[in-house]
Structure 1
């Protein structure tokens, strides 16, 4: 799952009727303009008011995670997830999607607030590699004299840390749960 900036999500909305008549007529709608699915569909109705009983066709979208949108539907969970991740910084949002992918979370079904809470419990931070994280752990938890640091094997210590207690993906470190 590629990281998405949900506050920048947008959808190109046409209709099946227009498409079947050879027209791609529609418009990009910025999902940040709508508080929920009903408000979004109201904008779709207004956009295509020239068509009676229009069947909306989402022909393209950006910054909407897989499983939250399809050609003819958008998940109610998109709006609650967008609101839940709003307080996360850009780096944390990216880490959130790495975490969701690694843990195989179903964004369309799971409660957004519960996902954010579980993510925050497990997220440690962004690091260049596992060894950089291990070096920080040693510096924070142990007071090694300078001569001992030259003998300390950070690479092996990192290997041991990431065998059971932590996991690393795409530059982010998480607590194993």
Structure 2
């Protein structure tokens, strides 16, 4: 399962499920849509409905929505975060990683510039680092096990494998 955004800029669909069993929930696509529908919602006794469980129905940011446990309290912050992410796939991947690590929604944008996404294996990254930092003589280059060096970097916490051929550097 790839974490890559499939359709950049696509709208998402959400559902607000009332905790009040006497009311019917509604679909929404943005904060204004949510607010207008939530304000006017009444249960079958005519009382206003105030609390909802928010569900991510369709879109490209389900993983991040779930990792952040978005609720009514953070809905405004959620849409602000989506504006900040824009179509930047690397930022999205970094934000998902940070959310999985337990960072809250307010900390993500302050931290994602501390990381960088590398497309390739840990071995590829190790080979690139060695070639940038050292001049390895030609006859000695054949004896360096870049796959093992990359695996050691992962095990040592220097880099993080997000998925196959996707490495996170920094932190």
TM-score range, shorter chain: 0.5 to 0.7
Residue of structure 1 aligned with 2:160, choices 158, 163, 167: 167
Deviation of the 1:174 alpha carbon: 1.9
2:14 is aligned with 1:11? yes
Deviation of the 1:161 alpha carbon: 3.3
Residue of structure 2 aligned with 1:105, choices 81, 91, 103: 103
Deviation of the 1:149 alpha carbon: 1.8
Structure 1's 150 and 14: CA in aligned 2 closer, same or farther, altered over 3 A?
Answer: closer
TM-score by length of 1: 0.64
Partners of 1:153 and 1:106 in 2: CA distance: 39
Query: What is residue 53 of structure 1 aligned with on the other side?
Result: 48
Deviation of the 1:49 alpha carbon: 6.9
Structure 1's 55 and 4: CA in aligned 2 closer, same or farther, altered over 3 A?
Answer: farther
Question: Conserved in 1, the CA contact under 8 Å of 2:94 and 2:115?
Answer: no
SS in 2 for 1:143: coil
Deviation of the 1:93 alpha carbon: 0.8
Query: What is residue 134 of structure 1 aligned with on the other side?
Result: 126
**Structure 1: runs of 5+ lacking an equivalent:** none
Deviation track 1:17-76 (CA, whole Å, cap 9, x = no partner) reads 5x43xx7x4432112xx36xxx63234325x37955233534632333344434xx3414
Partners of 1:4 and 1:81 in 2: CA distance: 17
Could you say which structure has the greater relative contact order, defined with CA pairs below 8 angstroms and 6 or more residues apart? 1
Partners of 1:115 and 1:26 in 2: CA distance: 30
Partners of 2:19 and 2:153 in 1: CA distance: 54
Task: Count how many residue pairs are aligned between Structure 1 and Structure 2.
Answer: 155
Deviation of the 1:155 alpha carbon: 3.0
